[in-house]
Amino acid sequence: MVWAMRLPNDFGKYWPGGSFEKSDGDSWYSHLRARFQNVLTDEEKAKYNLQGEEWAAGLYKSSVVDGFTREYGTRMNEMSPILRAIEPDEAPKSFFLRGASKKYGGLISLSNRIIAGSSKLVELLERLEPGVHQFFPIELKAKDGRLLSSDYHTIVIRNYRDSFVSDPEKLAEDFSYYSNPNSTALVRDARQYRKFRFEREKILGAHLWRERFFNEKLTFFSDELHRLIIESELDLPKLHQMTGVS
């Protein structure tokens, strides 16, 4: 069985809203630009000159941000660098929330579709898939700088698969009106998720992953991970059961 999670659309305990590293702006981006100037070697900087030297620092910043939600070793387009693993000093250290709720989910969405999980969720992931994903500690803070929680880590999913059957001829009849199925259209209606089809052999051994067809739009969980989440009483956004695994 496969379980899928769509990022929340409404602000709340799963999507608290806010900004990285500063309450009135995104100084994480400023940090990345400074890192480009002061830490990267000339050879490393040259990799980001694809759109001209004057745009290199911005392209570096964008590639780090994209690296949190897209597959390592790929590129966003032909004018973008190949995405690589995130370095610890590139990860944001804090996230300033718009409000100061007393409760947050075990998995939350921050900005730019970057997700963060509680220490308990990270522990489960490391138990099932040691060394597969990247985790970086991040503090949740109020607008005035008060620490609200130090229990979270940003999560970089490093497991991508091609198990989703996107061929129009093989999709369930319910999707027959899609002559050229696209991920945005299919993700929109969660009631259809149970009718998705997956190839079992292509997801063997995976517990937390993303499908290349959907990228960051959907996150997938194995039966075993789902069971451990329930047993641990972790509060996650709704997980939708997928029955079409063959």
Q: Where are the domains of the chain?
A: 2-8+160-245, 25-88
Regions of the chain where pLDDT drops below 70: 23-26, 100-102, 167-182, 246
13-63 pLDDT tens trace? 899 889 998 755 558 988 999 999 999 999 999 888 877 777 899 999 999
Burial pattern 191-227, b for ≥16 Cβ within 10 A else e, equals: eebeebbbbeeebeebbbbbbbbbebbbbbbbeebbe
Question: What's the pLDDT score for residue 36?
Answer: 93
One-letter amino acid of 179: S
Question: What's the pLDDT score for residue 52?
Answer: 73
Question: What's the pLDDT score for residue 239?
Answer: 94
pTM, to two decimals: 0.90
Q: Are 237 and 6 in contact (CB under 8 A)?
A: yes
Question: What's the pLDDT score for residue 187?
Answer: 80
Q: How many CA atoms lie within 13 A of 70 on its CB side?
A: 17
Question: What's the pLDDT score for residue 126?
Answer: 98
